[in-house]
Chain A
Amino acid sequence: DSGVTQTPKHLITATGQRVTLRCSPRSGDLSVYWYQQSLDQGLQFLIQYYNGEERAKGNILERFSAQQFPDLHSELNLSSLELGDSALYFCASSATTGSGSPLHFGNGTRLTVT
């Protein structure tokens, strides 16, 4: 158990809809990362937060947004969903930002857009 909690585990929704994925980092970790893994692909970095502030941004679509709350949990919002957004979305946390702190991953949220 990595200590990172993601909910829900599975999500099935229709095109055009909006969903929210939730992540609770490991206790004490200040940094949260979101990654997208499409079928049989590697992990694509979406966005990183550190102690409530956005720190780095990857190829995140404008239809996607995220935030980290004062209690350090994070939410990833996906709107105007398209079939191509179907993927496994991972949240990961680390103690610090950069500096080699290993990322600890949640079990992911599998999103299916129909």
Chain B
Amino acid sequence: AQTVTQSQPEMSVQEAETVTLSCTYDTSENNYYLFWYKQPPSRQMILVIRQEAYKQQNATENRFSVNFQKAAKSFSLKISDSQLGDTAMYFCAFIRYSGNTPLVFGKGTRLSVIA
């Protein structure tokens, strides 16, 4: 079974600074997708970014980018120019490329952006 590990339960960053959230996963699959979801205090689950395992290029969405290291099974999220609105729980998630398997989540990292 696939597992996703987020080793940083909590992190904080000063406004306008850069922060990196870590995620590792365990799988024997070669094709899969990885995601970062954000859960602000409103408790909504918001998709931040997606990475296909077969693509070597790291995904980027505005201030959010990932560092995908397939051999190391590592998928970190970098947030640049942090804003107060980035304060949230961040969940890393994995899904196999095919087959009837669900999205598997890590336990999350609570990020606080400090003014």
Task: List chain A positions with a Cβ less than 8 A from chain B.
Answer: 2, 33, 41-43, 45, 48, 50, 55-56, 58, 88, 90, 92, 97-100, 102-105, 107-108, 110
Task: List chain B positions with a Cβ less than 8 A from chain A.
Answer: 32-33, 35, 37, 42-47, 50, 52, 91, 95-108
Give 19 A-B pairs besides A43-B91, A50-B100, A92-B45 with Cβ atoms closer than 8 angstroms: A33-B102, A33-B103, A41-B107, A42-B107, A43-B105, A45-B102, A45-B103, A45-B104, A56-B100, A56-B101, A58-B102, A88-B43, A90-B45, A98-B100, A100-B97, A105-B45, A107-B42, A108-B44, A110-B43
**Residues on A with beta carbons closer than 8 Å to the beta carbon of B103:** 33, 45, 92, 103
Smallest Cβ distance from A45 to chain B, in angstroms?
4
The total of interchain contacts (Cβ-Cβ below 8 angstroms) comes to 60
**Residues on A with beta carbons closer than 8 Å to the beta carbon of B106:** 42
**Residues on B with beta carbons closer than 8 Å to the beta carbon of A58:** 102
